[in-house]
Structure formats: structure tokens, C-alpha cells
Amino acid sequence: MSGNRKVPVRKCVGCQEMKNKKEMIRIIRTAENEFVLDTTGKKNGRGAYLCPDRECLKKAVKNRGLERSFKQAIPDEVYEALEKEMIDIDTR
């Protein structure tokens, strides 16, 4: 054993930085074409990752990172749900 523990990292659609995926919010698109936030990392579907940071959410809105990641328009409710989730994290 090398002791070299590899941490799975994902790129944030906001700041574009690679971070530990366990610390990120996952947004997935289900087979029914619905967007859901996956805080457990266990749901199936095409996913994108975002830091649990409202600044990253702002950046993602601005650079259309989610749209690019999913190659389609993202409903406003998804952004609203993300913002709410981040406020929850802030005040936890």
C-alpha cells in the first residue's frame, strides 16, 4: 500500500475549481428530466457539482455553468432551490 489516498474531486460549475466531491452540492437531472439537488451523492442521474457557497452560485448563474454542463436551460426553481440550500448551510 502506498498510503496515497486519492480523494475524488469534481469541478465546480461556478468557480471552476476542483474540489472534494463530498464537500460539494450535486445537482442531478433525472430520467424524467427533472432537476434535483442531491446532498447524499447517492442518487442516479447526470450530475453537476457546485461548492456550497453562494458566491459560486452567483458565478454559475453568470457563466451559465449549469446550462453548459447539462446542455439545456435550467429552470429558475433549480437556482432558487440551490440558493435556499446554501442559506441553510450558512445558518446550520
Binding residues (CB under 5 A) for Zn ion: these are 12, 14-15, 51, 56
C-beta closer to Zn ion: residue 51 or 74: 51
Q: How far is the CB of 70 from Zn ion (least distance, A)?
A: 17
Dihedral of CA atoms 67, 24, 56, 91 in degrees, nearest 10, equals: 130
Alpha carbon 37 to its chain centroid, in Å, reads 8
C-beta closer to Zn ion: residue 56 or 86: 56
Dihedral sign for Cα 68, 36, 54, 24, please. Answer: negative
Q: How far is the CB of 22 from Zn ion (least distance, A)?
A: 14
C-beta closer to Zn ion: residue 56 or 74: 56
